[in-house]
Amino acid sequence: MPTTIELSPLRLAIVTARNAPSHMRVIKTLRKWGVYVDEAYFLGGLSKDKVLKAFGAHIFFDDQDIHLKDSSKFVPSGRVPYASDSPLFVKDVPINSSEEMNKE
């Protein structure tokens, strides 16, 4: 984790249509990577465009065109190709282990 989080010029937010229990995978993966996130929105299938507009996002990335269609009306948006064989794909992070989460 960065030692001077307060001085970071970036404000990072996760906005995802996913909900429990997949939120645990996101949190644990980011922790494992040492990534600090300012805010996280797990929308459970709700539209992302309203959150992005209210948040005041400067740019938005998603791996699905359907999510980019509405969001691109409010914020510059770009598609990120996703591959499960990517070296960034974390296979060993438990999805819903609250016991593991509390250990950290």
Domain range summary for the chain, segments of one domain joined by +? 5-80
Return the biggest CA–CA distance within the chain.
42
| 58: exposed, middle or buried (Cβ count in 10 Å: 0-12, 13-18, 19+) | exposed
> How many residues comprise the chain?
104
The one-letter amino acid code at 74 reads F
Angle at 49 between CA 96 and CA 55, to 5 degrees: 80
Give the residue from 102, 85, 83 showing the smallest Cα distance to 31: 102
pLDDT of residue 95: 45
pLDDT of residue 76: 93
- Bridge partner residues of 79 (DSSP): 62
- Phi and psi torsions of 49, nearest 5°: -60, -40
pLDDT of residue 23: 79
pLDDT of residue 78: 92
- In tens digits, the chain (104 residues) has pLDDT values of 445 556 667 778 888 888 777 778 888 888 888 888 888 888 888 888 888 888 888 899 888 888 888 889 889 999 888 766 766 665 554 444 444 444 44
pTM: 0.63
pLDDT of residue 94: 47
